[in-house]
Structure 1
């Protein structure tokens, strides 16, 4: 019996050491492929003339639009608010000199894709960023406490799920024909595990992750990269967060994520979020799913936002 226990402890030690070195190797791989070598500019230049970004007038979407314009792409902005589209288009054109095409579309509607397809005709699309997304109100909250539950369910499925599949269907055929292209699908870190208080949102983002990885398996051999990005805290109007150690500005996150497009079919987009994901996976669900923890978390979010709203800008 003692020999069996000793062998078991030895095997456990070997297994633990192996996991540790595996995580170190993953971090080293991340650094090698991003910070130390990165993605050559010729990679992006070879993809095509136009980058299409949905939800592109704020936050990550706007940051991707600016960054791809700086890297030599003409930009198609797709969002629902005409005034914001015109404003962002003018900003990008003046800052980068690139062509910008603005397409107004409300992704809560299902009849918009013929209009979008018409506006994309004749464009050599090298990049598609499926970024448009929505959170429930109030945020965070329990499922039945969402404002207008039935409408929120329909709208969130349309925006967070249907848009990804439909926009991919529009861009992918020509990419396949040219045997080149990059599709970035923006999921969320909360899709990594069951996430109470965001259960509908996180579930919709799981679709993005599974759809992306399945499409990459189907079309990766055709010269196309389809990657799911799963960020945690990003400072934006949607999240209501401010930049910090873990929370990245949209601009910083976008630059970091583009350094990691060769990392595989799924990535958290920056080293901070990769480390955070590893830590969160180690916390037992019975702790973070307990009512007491959830209530304290909601109070913390409300207090934080209250301070931000009272802070002069």
Structure 2
């Protein structure tokens, strides 16, 4: 890519890379790392002709999310089709207009996000406990 003075790198992160998410600590932290890594690479290769973008979708209908499709939850194919259209337009995006609107919440002050997260802790804890129990039964 450097020799050609062109190329595209899209690193897939998540909106959860911007949030403190109890019981999804490793996932959230790994996505924050991807965001940071991509920002550094973008700076390092800023004059190379390489487009480097971070895709930070919110909920997508996958085996991991176990969620069905809705206006805010797209299937993977629709997410990819939408996200491809953003390459070269912005350094970082959520991939869809619906997710971009939802992502605006991450611009709120951290103490407000933390306060809101307290109300979600119980739901995440129940999810994590159920996953642990399911995993222990499979062993």
Q: TM-score, normalised by structure 2?
A: 0.80
Picking from 112, 123, 134, the partner of 1:296 is 123
Higher Cα Rg: structure 1 or 2?
1
Query: Higher relative contact order at CA 8 Å, sep ≥6: structure 1 or structure 2?
Result: 2
1:177 is paired with a residue whose SS is coil
Indicate the larger mover: 190-199 or 224-233.
Answer: 190-199
What's the counterpart of residue 90 of structure 2?
264
| Cα distance in 1 between the residues matched to 2:128 and 2:66 | 10
What's the counterpart of residue 208 of structure 1?
34
What's the counterpart of residue 134 of structure 2?
none
What's the counterpart of residue 28 of structure 1?
none
What's the counterpart of residue 287 of structure 1?
115
1:221 is paired with a residue whose SS is coil
2:2 is paired with a residue whose SS is helix
Moved over 4 A (4+): 297-303
The structure with the greater share of residues assigned to helix is 1
1:248 aligns with 2:90: no
Q: TM-score, normalised by structure 1?
A: 0.38
Note the C-alpha offset of 1:300.
7.5
| Cα distance in 2 between the residues matched to 1:240 and 1:214 | 33
1:274 is paired with a residue whose SS is helix
Question: Does the C-alpha gap of structure 1 residues 288 and 197 become closer, same or farther in structure 2, counting only changes over 3 Å?
Answer: farther
RMSD: 2.3
| Cα distance in 1 between the residues matched to 2:103 and 2:54 | 15
1:181 aligns with 2:7: yes
Deviations 1:14-60 (A, max 9, x none): xxxxxxxxxxxxxxxxxxxxxxxxxxxxxxxxxxxxxxxxxxxxxxx
Aligned pair count reads: 128
| Cα distance in 2 between the residues matched to 1:300 and 1:288 | 18
